Amino acid sequence: MPVAVITGASRGLGRATATALSRLGWSVVVDARSAADLAALERELPGGTLTALAGDVTDPGHRAALAAAVEAQGRLDLLVNNASLLGPSPQPPLASYPLDVLARVYAVDVLAPLALTQLLLPALTASRGALVNVSSDAAVEAYEGWGGYGSAKAALDHLSAVLAAERPDLAVYAFDPGDMRTTMHQEAFPGEDISDRPEPETVVPALLRLVTERPPSGRYRAVELLTGVTAVTA
C-alpha cells in the first residue's frame, strides 16, 4: 500500500487530496492545527487508511511525530506540503506589512515545508517518491497586496527547483492549483462572492496526474494538467 503525507489536510485542497488518495487505497498521514476537523475527516474515510496528527507544522516536535508516523508505515511514496498561511486579511501593502507577521508567513509557507522535507527525504529516497509543494499564481504574478504570501510562495517555488536540481532521483514539483473555493481564498477577498471559483475536488485529478505519470520535475499549473483528465471518483 503506497503511503502519503499531506499537511494542512483539514480543509480545502489538502482535505480533498487526502480523501481521494484514501479512497484509491493509499495509507495517508495527515496533519492540521484543528483536531476536531481531523476527527471529522477520519469519520468520513475508510477505516485504517488515515493517520491524523493535530499540530503546527512549524513545531519541530510535531514534525518529528509526522516522521515517526511514516516510520511506523514502513515507507513514504508522496509528500504534499500543502499547509499555508495567507497572512493578514485584508492583505496589507508591503510598505506597511508587519514584519513579525511576515516572518510567521515565511515560517509556515517556506521554512516548515523545507524542514519537513529534510526530515522525510530518506524515506522518500528509498521509495523513489514524489514531493509536491503547493504553490500559487501569486508566486509568479505581481498582484497588488500579495507581497507577503506571493513572495513566500515564490521562495517555495525556488526551493523546489533547486531541490530538483540537487536530487534528480526524486520527482519534485511546485504545483499551482489556481483559484479555488476555499476558506483561505475567501480570506484573501473578504466580503466578495467567490462562489464562481471551482471546488478543491476539481483540482485533485491534476495533482494525481503528477503523482501517477511522473513528468520531469518542475512547476506545473493545474489548468494545464487537467487537459484530458477526468474527475477522481470513489
Domain-wise residue ranges, the chain: 3-225
Q: What percent of the chain has pLDDT over 70?
A: 89
pLDDT of residue 53: 96
Q: What superfamily would CATH give domain 3-225? A: NAD(P)-binding Rossmann-like Domain (3.40.50.720)
DSSP structure string for the chain? --EEEESS-SSHHHHHHHHHHHHTT-EEEEEES-HHHHHHHHHHS-TTSEEEEES-TT-HHHHHHHHHHHHHHT---EEEE------SSSPPPGGG--HHHHHHHHIIIIIHHHHHHHHHHHHHHHTT-EEEEE--GGGTS--TT-HHHHHHHHHHHHHHHHHHHH-TTSEEEEEE----SSHHHHHHSTT---TTSPPGGGTHHHHHHHHHH-PPSEEEEHHHHTTT-PPP--
The whole-angstrom separation of Cα 220 and Cα 144 is: 23
Question: Which band of pLDDT confidence, cut at 50, 70 and 90, is reported for residue 44?
Answer: confident
pLDDT of residue 85: 94
pLDDT-derived band at 175, boundaries 50, 70, 90:
very high
- pTM for the predicted model, two decimal places: 0.91
Q: Which residues lie across from 54 on neighbouring strands?
A: 32
pLDDT of residue 110: 98
pLDDT for 46 beyond 80: no
**pLDDT reading at 182 higher than 60:** no
Contact assessment for residue 116 and residue 161, using Cβ atoms and an 8 Å cutoff: no
